[in-house]
Amino acid sequence: MSKNMTILDRRLRAVLIAPVALLIGILIGAGSIAALVLCAPAAVAPTASAAGYCPLYSLIGTGGRHRQPQAH
């Protein structure tokens, strides 16, 4: 499993996206379906950020980090 996220992507997920999604989920109402839908990515985003690997990027065949050819 190689890293497929850029530093910017990792920081945005950990510092901005996860807390905002969690806050909106709480404000909507903790028992609602919308809150559960928002809390799932809020839980996964910091984990993906820490690992530097996003499974969704692998599924769709994209990502912020592209492999560079290695010089011999």
How far, in Å, are 36, 68, 69 from residue 18 at the CA level? 13, 30, 33
Q: Residue 5, exposed/middle/buried by CB under 10 A (0-12, 13-18, 19+)?
A: buried
Residue 26 is predicted with a pLDDT of 84
Residue 69 is predicted with a pLDDT of 47
Residue 67 is predicted with a pLDDT of 52
Local mean pLDDT, 10-residue blocks, the chain (72 residues): 85 88 84 84 86 84 58 52
Does the predicted model carry a pTM greater than 0.85? no
Number of residues in the chain = 72
Residue 56 is predicted with a pLDDT of 83
Residue 25 three-state SS: helix
- The alpha carbon of residue 24 and the mean position of all alpha carbons in its chain are separated, in whole angstroms, by 17
Residue 71 is predicted with a pLDDT of 52
